[in-house]
Structure 1
Amino acid sequence: MGIQRTGVKDSNQLRDSSLFRPSQSEVDLYQHDMEDFLLDSAAEPAAPHQNKLLLCDLLDISGVLSEAASAIVDDSFTRCFKSNIPEPWNWNIYLLPLWCLGVIVRYCILFPVRVLLLTVGWIIFLGAFIPVHFILRKHDHMRRKIERGLVEFICSVFVASWTGVVKYHGPRPSRRPRQVFVANHTSMIDFIILEQMTAFAVIMQKHPGWVGLLQNTVLESLGCIWFNRTESKDRHVVGEKLRKHVIDPESNLLLIFPEGTCVNNEYIVMFKKGAFELDCTVCPVAIKYNKIFVDAFWNSRKQSFTMHLLRLMTSWAVVCDVWYLEPQTIRPNETPIEFAERVRDMIAKRAGIKKVAWDGYLKYYRPSSKLTEKMQQKFAESMLRRLRTKTSDEDLSTPMEG
């Protein structure tokens, strides 16, 4: 199927991508279910019509070949996670000097200015956030309000460091109970772009070390929902946290990326149904990036998030449109899966991206050698059944000598 997950190239890439990928227990559970599905759905070769046993019957692997050819000719899954490299346009005597001049401007002028802007922004943010976080600890309401404003400020600094040109369509989200926002997911900068406009809380796995420190300080002020690896086995635990969050009028708006992984902004994969089982209003958000200057898709298998940010900071600009679509509620006799598909249709249509019937967790699926052996055994058993059937048919068709 061409969906094997490549190994992580370095520790920095592993550290960055571990924030946004599913937990190991989820991957193991998904891999077990996927292998069972593949084994159950393994197709047997079609029964031959000839009565005579031919060599082609022994060598008939048309089913296997057709599946392999289908994956090669139209691999609609891996194309969802490919970075599309633009065709070269500057290899001529007229445009090459201008392109070289542009490289000098981007790397020698714009990039240092952006680094300086980001550094100053972090100094201001930390200089204000740390005192507020510790001094106003007893004044929880005021502390959270100031911290939310500071988080929006640092997100605006990040967007400015890319020369972000973001156009927001529709009314700005307002805090109301019993509502959740869902959006298509291209990169971690989706959160930054949405956060600079409105303070959102997100769902994230709990991590140790400096990541845990960041979660317990900066992101804690947003009311983000954390879960441990052991809790991820029990979806009811996370679901209960979500329900408590959405009914609390003092909580920040809840933002969920139901695809569960980053997609290249040309396709949209299936939504997880968890956000649509909360019995609340779902507010769709469509995000579309213009690739005129840079592709904002973060391919976590090829580059760390740090390198992804550096690529954005050395481009001319990040151009993006954000649409806040009409809130939706589940209809009578509509299942959460149907509700999720309806919202996905809205986002895909508004952003101009294609829907595909793939689960994003397949990105993390890696076929095991045990599965390969079982598939080979299943195919061998199928061929043996065919040979026995052929032999029996020939015996019945042979006239008995009297």
Structure 2
Amino acid sequence: MIFEILAMYASILLGSILSTTCLILLGRSWGALPQYYLRTVAWIQEFYPDVYPKSDEPWPAIIKRNTKNALTRTKSRSSAYFSFLTTPRNHLDIAIDAAQSGIEAIVQDSLSTSFEAAPCYGQTLLRSSALPCWSNSQKLIFYVTLAFRWGFLFPIRLGLLLTSFAFAVVAALASHSKNLSNEEKVWFGIVYSRLYLSGMGMIVTYNNTHLRPKRAGVAVSNHMTINDVHALYAGTPFGAPHGFIITGQKHSGIIGSIEAAADRVCSTIWMDRKCANGRRKFLEEIMKECKQTGGMPILLFPEGYCTNNTQVLQFRRAIFKEGITIYPIAIKQDSRFGDSFWGDEKFCMHLLRVMSSWAVFYNVTYLAPMTHSSHETDDEFAARVQVRISDTVGVPAGKFDGYMWYNKLEQRRLLELQKEMCAAALTSHKWLESSESDDGYQSISDVLPLDVTVQ
């Protein structure tokens, strides 16, 4: 009896893996079934209370920050300034604003929240044990869903992930035996990407497909995980003459193996950070490809770091040059079903977390091409593209990049600059007020408001 049950269980898993693989090879899909599945999961989640009350403020908003106390980048990006230092004020007001800005940053800054787990107001049920406050029926439903995710979804996704790796090996061997045409390379890339996405449990919808990049230029997008590359390449229709030129940083381990397989069937440009001239050579090769007639679009993530989709980090300006066509692509994630953000965790742990989730639901929107205007700088063009993507996703456009978060020396340098600016502002205002006084001293009436009396 037990053997028969196990045989039936294994046949269901194997049938799901084989049927999904066949559909992908034939260029088909499960149709509306994934959407019905997500609706069912959302319906189950409604039986559980919200994690915290909903708010009109964009997540995450613990406090209501004063805009004049915000730290803003200068146009040169080498420094930053506080808005309250740009208007003439007495030194007491400056000191109060500086203290308020510091307290607000301690309670909640505007950068660190982008490198945490993706937020979700509701109960996702993506946990390992039930909460004590849940009723018996809620606990029962939870453990049923836990068994479903680990006993059904995870083994199927693991099988599909291994199938994608096996397919990548076959594609690499095929490229050794014959010279693949562009159409054949694109076909291998699409099939591999869709198999990999199925193994990750990703469900992707594509909007404005008529705006999908088809010519030379740079396709830029916000970035959450390495899976973003597969999600965007999988949107290429079968029969297309080309997909994307894949770019990224050289890795080792599992990711390095994936990159090595991609080298055989796709056009790639990798940056080696260990090489002294790696970044310069990387940019030179990108610029060369962008200016080729009849070339392919290059896929690039100008944020430089992964975030949790709560804001779009400041774009690096290197590729936002005059004469380069930019194809913006916006990726929005629904964290109710799973979080694709890859932060500081090991990649194997990231795979386990993603593959055991309900799903990773992406909404990809292709936007109209953008070009450099004659009256704007490279920084302004990069910021314009950044805002365009952030508005489409529905999140703020950040004023700093991930380098500020991960590099402690940069944090220390900016901190010293802030101290110097505030000290200079306080000193200049104090000297000005003293010089305007008859006796060279500052009276208390110059500091206190007019409606305040001293007793």
- TM above 0.5, yes or no, is yes
Paired residues, number: 345
Following TM superposition, by how much is the alpha carbon of 1:114 offset from its aligned partner in structure 2, in angstroms? 1.6
The aligned runs of 1:360-379 (5 Å cut-off) are: 360-367=402-409
Shift of 1:92: 2.3
The unaligned stretches of length 5 or more in structure 2 are 1-75, 126-130, 237-242, 442-455
TM-score with structure 1 setting the length: 0.71
The structural deviation recorded for 1:166 is 1.2
Q: Which residue of 1 aligns with 2:335?
A: 291
- 1:325 and 2:367 correspond: yes
1:340 aligned to which of 379, 382, 388: 382
Matched, 1:97 2:140: yes
Q: 1:96 to 1:124 in 2, by over 3 A?
A: same
More displaced stretch, 96-105 vs 327-336? 327-336
Q: CA deviation at 1:241?
A: 0.8
Q: Does 1:355 align with 2:397?
A: yes
Using the size of structure 2 for normalisation, the TM-score is 0.63
Q: State the partner residue of 1:146.
A: 184
Q: Which deviates more from structure 2 when the two are superposed, residues 339-348 or residues 255-264?
A: 339-348
Q: Residues 135 and 40 (structure 1 numbering): CA distance in 2 closer, same or farther, change over 3 Å?
A: same
Counterpart residue number, 1:109:
152
Is 1:156 the equivalent of 2:198? no
Q: What do the CA deviations read for 1:329-362 (whole angstroms, capped 9, x no partner)?
A: 2223222222222222221222212222122211
Structure ranking higher on relative contact order (CA contacts 8 Å, 6+ apart):
1
Partner AA of 2:354 in structure 1 = L
Query: How do residues 7-22 of structure 1 correspond to structure 2 at under 5 angstroms?
Result: none
Q: Give RMSD over aligned pairs.
A: 4.1
Partner of 2:52: none
Could you tell me which runs of 5 or more consecutive residues in structure 1 were left unpaired when the two chains were aligned: 1-32, 50-59, 398-402
Q: CA shift at 1:271, angstroms? A: 1.0
Contact 1:276 1:339 in 2 (8 A): yes
Deviation at 1:167, TM superposition (A): 0.9
How far did residue 265 of structure 1 move?
0.9
1:247 to 283, 291, 297: 291
Q: Is the 8 A contact 1:223 1:251 kept in 2?
A: no
Instruction: Indicate how the Cα distance of structure 1 residues 306 and 250 shifts in structure 2: closer, same or farther if over 3 A, else same.
Output: farther
Match of 1:280 among 318, 324, 337: 324
Q: Specify whether residues 174 and 322 from structure 1 end up closer, same or farther in structure 2 by C-alpha distance, changes over 3 A only.
A: closer
Once residues 264 and 244 of structure 2 are traced to their aligned partners in structure 1, the CA distance between those partners, rounded to angstroms, is 11
Deviation at 1:184, TM superposition (A): 0.9
* 1:208 Cα deviation after fit: 6.5
Q: Deviations over 1:147-188 (max 9, x none)?
A: 442232221112112332211111256675432111111221
Aligned residue in 2 for 1:78: 112
Q: State the alpha-carbon separation in 2 of the partners of residues 376 and 332 from structure 1.
A: 33
* Residues 1:185 and 2:223 are matched in the alignment: yes
Counterpart contact for 1:231–1:238, Cα < 8 Å: no
Between the two proteins, what is the percent identity of the paired residues? 26
1:307 maps to a residue whose letter is: M
Paired residue type of 2:394: G
Query: Which residue pairs with 1:171 in the alignment?
Result: 209
Matches of 1:183 and 1:94, distance apart in 2: 43
CA distance in structure 2 between the aligned counterparts of 1:178 and 1:311, rounded to whole angstroms: 37
How far the C-alpha of 1:87 sits from its partner, in A, is 5.3
SS in 1 for 2:362: strand
Residue of structure 1 in register with 2:235 after alignment: 197
* 2:216–2:295 Cα contact (<8 Å) kept: no
Q: For residues 39 and 353 of structure 1, what CA distance do their matches in structure 2 show?
A: 23
Q: Secondary structure at the match of 2:224?
A: coil
Structure 1 residues 248, 215: closer, same or farther in 2, change over 3 A?
farther
Q: Quick one: distance in 2 between partners of 1:163 and 1:369?
A: 37
